[in-house]
């Protein structure tokens, strides 16, 4: 299987992608490991984290040859994208679509997931070879947006981020998304340094995902 397809499938299989933000590289690494310890398999390490590429390299080395998938988030330009890819990032996420980031991801056969809100943005992204659309902010769009979008564009792979919680996860998957991005609702205990709480939350998300997929 092509590398790009392999990584895209790993994102879909992970189902829940934890969006990691932190003040230091050490915190980012610890939060990521706490999430994985709870049973979630997807990590989006944002480039708002200092030395984000080094954290990505650490994580990809630690979890290589596993079903854990490590990506880079908040990637705004092709230079950051290339840094992340060279560090081992298996997917690239942006808050908005950037054609130059799409090109560098295609060059290295890495899935690109840009934030989009409108059908025009989504069609533009698809034309540029984008594999997964990040519906962002998800809290503004809602699951109904997924249903409405998939009607004219059934080939879309959608991952909402922003506003995803345990309470509405099932609604998103029922609407037709392939994965969800989870940030503050999942990682809130980390604000107080409670890594054990992050692991407990991750377990709840993993259990909810399993329940959704069994129904």
What positions carry a catalytic annotation? 44, 134
- Spatial distance between the Cα atoms of 175 and 44, rounded to a whole number of angstroms: 23
Q: Is residue 144 within 8 Å of residue 158, measured between CB atoms?
A: no
φ, ψ at 209 (rounded to 5°): -60, -45
Secondary structure E strands in 29-144: 42-46, 69-73, 92-94, 112-116, 133-135
Please report, for residues 32, 59, 159, 183, 194, the alpha-carbon distance to residue 8 in angstroms, rounded to integers and kept in the order given.
Answer: 20, 18, 12, 20, 31
78: which 2 tokens?
């092709």
- Spatial distance between the Cα atoms of 73 and 43, rounded to a whole number of angstroms: 9
How far from each other are the two terminal CA atoms of the chain, in whole angstroms?
29
């Amino acid at each position: 299987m092509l590398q790009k397809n392999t990584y895209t499938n790993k994102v879909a299989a992970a189902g829940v992608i934890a969006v990691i933000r932190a003040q230091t590289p050490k915190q980012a690494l610890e939060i990521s490991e706490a999430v994985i310890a709870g049973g979630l398999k997807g990590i989006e390490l944002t480039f708002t984290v200092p030395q984000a590429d080094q954290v990505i390299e650490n994580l990809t080395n630690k979890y290589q040859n596993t079903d854990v998938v490590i990506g880079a988030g908040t990637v705004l330009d092709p230079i950051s994208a290339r840094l992340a890819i060279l560090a081992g990032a298996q997917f690239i996420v942006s808050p908005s679509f950037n054609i130059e980031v799409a090109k560098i991801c295609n060059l290295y056969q890495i899935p690109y997931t840009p934030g989009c809100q409108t059908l025009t943005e989504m069609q533009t992204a698809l034309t540029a070879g984008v594999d997964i659309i990040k519906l962002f902010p998800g809290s503004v769009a809602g699951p109904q947006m997924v249903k409405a979008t998939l009607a004219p564009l059934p080939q879309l792979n959608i991952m909402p981020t922003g506003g995803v919680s345990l309470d509405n996860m099932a609604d998103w998957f029922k609407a037709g998304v392939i994965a969800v991005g989870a940030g503050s609702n999942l990682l809130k205990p980390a604000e107080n340094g409670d890594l054990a709480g992050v692991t407990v939350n991750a377990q709840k998300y993993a259990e909810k995902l399993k329940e959704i997929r069994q129904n």
